[in-house]
Chains A and B, each alone.
Chain A
Amino acid sequence: MKEQQILWKLIAVYLVLVIGLIAMIAPFLWMLSTSFKSTKAIFRFPPDWIPAQPTLAHYQKLFETLDFLTPFKNTVIVAVSITFLSLLICSMAGYAFAKFRFPGRDKLFIGLLGTLMVPGQITMIPVFLLLNKLRLLNSYPGLILPGLASAFSIFFMRQFIRTIPDELLEAARIDGASERYIFFKIVLPLCKPALATLGIFNFTGSWNSFLWPLIIASSEKMYTLPVAIANLGGQYQTDYGLQMAGAVVVIVPIIIVFLFAQRYFIKGITLSGLKG
């Protein structure tokens, strides 16, 4: 009797979870399905989920007529540069906060954490004016530089580096290792799990970033994918096939990264959630 009750409860839980899961996944499936349909088939009602005559016409138009390869390339360049440079810069700073004593260290660190409260919109206008003065609008440095140093990443790396035993670093110093050697050959390799987690966060963050590229990249050859697709939505408002193909090009790479690295994602959020 008791066993049966538990079984029914479990079935109810599964039912709710599965319905929820369908609601989470269905929009993506519909996006894929629509992107392979001819414009005529798209407006068939009621809709069919599997295109009767799949076509690549929308993708062809996207890459041949609208040159989506350029924003794709830009996004890859910007996201990869931000990811690696940011990891380097922020783990250096995290190392300094974790393993050195210097006057004002703790105050500086608290001040740094204070910048987490500052919304991006507030620094946007002065940075825009600065980059305008330096003629860095519509350039890779303009898209990359402002996104490199983040208080969160420094904090994250500091927390991790603190767990490395001091004796290990002292022993290396006694053996005559240079500070640079200690950082690159001892500290960084030990940080691999943290670097992987943070790197994936940074990568998806900059791949998805929208408002900043929208402001900095006003010329078409510097568009990133989110800006390009926003424009597509404006210009081809009713061409849903084309829009869905564009969405696929933006979304599918990030989903692939996610599926390969999902355990780092989950671990990373858990860390940021509990200790942030």
Chain B
Amino acid sequence: MKRSLLIPLGFLAPALTLILVFMVLPLVVSFYLSLTNFNVAALLDYSLADFIGLANYQRLLRDELFWQAFWNTGYFVLIGVPSALVLSLLLAILLNQARLFGKNFFKVGYYLPSITTTVAIAVVWRWVLNPRYGILNWLLGIVGIAGPNWFGDPEWAMPAIILLVVWKGLGYNMVIFLAGLQNIPGHLYEAAQLDGAGRVKQLIYITIPLLRPTSFFVSVMTMIGYLQLFAEPYMLTDGGPLNATLSIVLYMYRHGFKFFNLGYASALAYVLFAIIFIVTLLQMKFRDKEIQY
């Protein structure tokens, strides 16, 4: 009897130890840190950090830069997530046409950007979006549009980042949607066609409702990912111009690993965690309601 417990434990031990040390304990410690004034000095001697209660959270509420980062991230998520979902769903529907040749070729091509390194892609996009010599403004110029100064313009910097992020993630979501589409039984469409329903009606009354589990998964995962926006503004704008692209994680990184205000940065991390948690719960609630109708 005892032996039978030891065997699974032996198989579990390495993974559980690692998860305990690098995941569970840090989660607790991080909350404690958010209640301290841990700073550069404490980095040399951890005992120098003092317990200060909720002071970091109070400071956060009054911190204008935090609110700027909060709204920027919200803007990014509110525009970015729906754009990403709609575009990747449309692509998946196009690719799901029965008579299409070279499906796999398109799949691979569209998927390509999503496996590549974000930081390197950001460098490429800074060049693509270079206001004077970049190809995008060159293309826009051909059609007679004067392209904006993308990352140099507070109005356009965030849209440029959204463009880059949506472009990069398109193929990934598309592949998930494709799998979902292939699970919809074909006879539903045939029946609808017999009843005289056109393409648009089929989309609204068959595809979108039956795709709900997939859309739910994709939207939750995309939103969680987008809330953690970091590498793109870090590389491209460093949060500028005029803090127009400062994201929550970038702000946290600054406090944590530039100034080593690790206590304050921990509070920021916990706020991000809370936001992700709430958004996920809200989406789950929303989904339950939708299914009942």
Residues of A participating in the B interface, judged by any CB pair closer than 8 Å: 6, 10, 13-14, 16-17, 20-21, 23-28, 30-31, 34, 42-43, 45-47, 89-90, 92-93, 95-97, 100, 102-103, 105, 112, 115, 117-130, 132-133, 145-146, 148-149, 151, 154, 179, 183, 204, 207-208, 210-211, 214-215, 225-226, 229-230, 232-233, 240, 243-244, 246-247, 250-251, 254-255, 258-259, 262, 265-266, 269-270, 273-274, 276
Residue from B122, B180, B183, B218 whose CB has the most chain A CB atoms within 10 Å: B122
Minimum CB–CB distance from B131 to chain A (whole Å) comes to 12
B 174-198 binary contact with A (CB < 8 Å = 1; else 0):
0110011001000000000000000
Residues A117 and B277 in contact in the complex (CB < 8 Å), given A31-B127, A149-B18: yes
B 71-114 binary contact with A (CB < 8 Å = 1; else 0):
00000000000000000000100110101100000111111110
Instruction: Report yes or no: A123 in contact with B118, Cβ–Cβ below 8 A.
Output: no
Chain A neighbourhood of B111, CB < 8 A: 258, 262, 265-266
Instruction: Report yes or no: B132 in contact with A45, Cβ–Cβ below 8 A.
Output: yes
Residues A210 and B100 in contact in the complex (CB < 8 Å), given A125-B265, A262-B108: no
Chain B neighbourhood of A121, CB < 8 A: 228, 249, 252, 269, 272
Instruction: Report yes or no: A47 in contact with B138, Cβ–Cβ below 8 A.
Output: yes
Among the listed stretches B26-34, B56-64, B154-162, B285-293, which one makes contact with chain A, having 4 or more residues with CB under 8 Å of it? Answer: B26-34
B 223-244 binary contact with A (CB < 8 Å = 1; else 0):
0100110110011000000000
Task: Among B27, B120, B270, B280, point to the contact of A226 (Cβ < 8 A).
Answer: B120
Residues A225 and B30 in contact in the complex (CB < 8 Å), given A125-B269, A240-B127: no
CB closest residue in chain B, given A182: B7
Indicate if B66 sits at the interface (CB-CB under 8 A): no
Instruction: Report yes or no: B30 in contact with A17, Cβ–Cβ below 8 A.
Output: no
Minimum CB–CB distance from B91 to chain A (whole Å) comes to 7
Instruction: Report yes or no: A28 in contact with B124, Cβ–Cβ below 8 A.
Output: yes
Instruction: Report yes or no: A13 in contact with B94, Cβ–Cβ below 8 A.
Output: yes
CA distance A20 to B10 in the complex (A): 51
Instruction: Report yes or no: B217 in contact with A100, Cβ–Cβ below 8 A.
Output: no
Chain A neighbourhood of B9, CB < 8 A: 96, 102
Minimum CB–CB distance from B142 to chain A (whole Å) comes to 9
Q: Chain B binding site: helix, strand, loop or mixed by DSSP?
A: helix
Pairs A-B, 9 closest by C-beta atoms: A273-B176, A100-B8, A93-B15, A126-B26, A149-B18, A123-B26, A96-B11, A126-B29, A96-B8
B 248-259 binary contact with A (CB < 8 Å = 1; else 0):
010011001100
Instruction: Report yes or no: A151 in contact with B127, Cβ–Cβ below 8 A.
Output: no
Instruction: Report yes or no: A10 in contact with B19, Cβ–Cβ below 8 A.
Output: no
Minimum CB–CB distance from A267 to chain B (whole Å) comes to 9
Residue from A34, A119, A276 whose CB has the most chain B CB atoms within 10 Å: A119
Indicate if B210 sits at the interface (CB-CB under 8 A): no
Q: Tally chain B residues at the interface, Cβ within 8 Å.
A: 93
Chain A neighbourhood of B172, CB < 8 A: 269
Instruction: Report yes or no: A254 in contact with B116, Cβ–Cβ below 8 A.
Output: yes
Residues of B participating in the A interface, judged by any CB pair closer than 8 Å: 4-5, 7-12, 14-16, 18-19, 21-27, 29-30, 33, 43, 46, 91, 94-95, 97, 99-100, 106-113, 115-128, 130, 132-133, 135, 138, 167, 170-172, 175-176, 179-180, 183, 214, 217-218, 221, 224, 227-228, 230-231, 234-235, 249, 252-253, 256-257, 262, 265-266, 269-270, 272-273, 276-277, 280
CA distance A245 to B97 in the complex (A): 39
Minimum CB–CB distance from A76 to chain B (whole Å) comes to 14
Residues A210 and B231 in contact in the complex (CB < 8 Å), given A34-B127, A240-B127: yes
Residue from A16, A240, A247 whose CB has the most chain B CB atoms within 10 Å: A247
Chain A neighbourhood of B276, CB < 8 A: 117, 119
Instruction: Report yes or no: B99 in contact with A273, Cβ–Cβ below 8 A.
Output: no
Minimum CB–CB distance from B36 to chain A (whole Å) comes to 11
Chain B neighbourhood of A211, CB < 8 A: 230-231, 249, 253
Instruction: Report yes or no: B33 in contact with A125, Cβ–Cβ below 8 A.
Output: yes
Instruction: Report yes or no: A31 in contact with B262, Cβ–Cβ below 8 A.
Output: no
For this complex, 19 residue pairs linking A to B, each with C-beta atoms less than 8 Å apart, are A10-B97, A17-B94, A21-B110, A24-B170, A30-B127, A47-B135, A93-B16, A96-B11, A100-B7, A122-B26, A122-B266, A125-B269, A130-B26, A149-B14, A208-B116, A225-B120, A233-B126, A244-B127, A273-B214
Chain B neighbourhood of A179, CB < 8 A: 7, 10
Instruction: Report yes or no: B128 in contact with A115, Cβ–Cβ below 8 A.
Output: no
Chain A neighbourhood of B109, CB < 8 A: 21, 24-25
Instruction: Report yes or no: B15 in contact with A243, Cβ–Cβ below 8 A.
Output: no
Chain B neighbourhood of A259, CB < 8 A: 108
Instruction: Report yes or no: B167 in contact with A119, Cβ–Cβ below 8 A.
Output: no
Residues A123 and B22 in contact in the complex (CB < 8 Å), given A102-B8, A276-B217: yes
CA distance A232 to B122 in the complex (A): 12
